[in-house]
Structure 1
């Protein structure tokens, strides 16, 4: 990631700060979720909604942390300017999947809340569920198009096919 003018360290510092701030926010959500859960068990009503809400906080925290990790690894730690398309697709798919899950989970929470208090307004969680479904379908289209694009690039650029993927930092079981 060489930049003209030697400002590479400024760019890395900005991405590092952004990544660390996002990780801090994710950690805060991970701490807040169990607090919400404990508070829910002390109440007599609304336990089901609070359970789903705390799950939602954890899912969002994981998504935010994953984005922060990606930013940190790709923009701060990596000196490799050439990005592997398959790796980028996997990262974006994982992030998109987390967002879809969060949206659908929120629609479920809204359904429980509204069904109990204002059944006439159930149309709003239904719209949110439809939005989550559209996001899911868009993610599937993205997967399909990016996978076929990867194949075309590898056919046209033998060097791209010969480039080994970057080693994963995760240990697979």
Structure 2
């Protein structure tokens, strides 16, 4: 029964990971299409810079999606879950949160450019997005510090218990 559950779980994670990768590739393809379209077939106006920034943002989001799919495959399909170490979890969380922060700040940059060309009063929302990105990085720094202190204590505890 346990093997059936593990197989079913792995199959579901595999389907989800493949779906995420396909969606991310679709986003990148569409970004390339819109970028090429504006580069070669349309006038270079204010829309040009907005489209390029939006495409960059979309590609960054796609990378985040692919990273989540990779994490699912590595952690939920290929790896024995009991072998996970706190350092590995911290590194994975750090990587994902940095990508999320970059994506949020890119969205803020795109919206700042768009709002700045229309009405200065519209800059509040993009500014909040960039502030949120900064807060994510600050929170990540605090998390890194606290978790590394805990890892050091755990490592010292294992050294004192170990018979070596």
In the alignment, structure 2 segments of 5+ residues that lack a partner are: none
Partner of 1:14: 12
In the alignment, structure 1 segments of 5+ residues that lack a partner are: 162-173
**2:92 pairs with 1:91:** yes
1:134-157, Cα deviation, whole Å (9 max, x unpaired): 111111111111211211221223
Please give the alpha-carbon distance, in whole angstroms, between the structure 2 residues aligned to 1:104 and 1:130: 8
TM-fit CA distance, 1:121 = 1.5
Partner of 1:148: 149
Please give the alpha-carbon distance, in whole angstroms, between the structure 1 residues aligned to 2:116 and 2:52: 16
Q: Tell me the TM-score normalised to structure 1 length.
A: 0.83
**2:65 pairs with 1:67:** no
Please give the alpha-carbon distance, in whole angstroms, between the structure 2 residues aligned to 1:6 and 1:153: 36
Please give the alpha-carbon distance, in whole angstroms, between the structure 2 residues aligned to 1:144 and 1:35: 42
Partner of 2:105: 104
Number of residue equivalences? 159
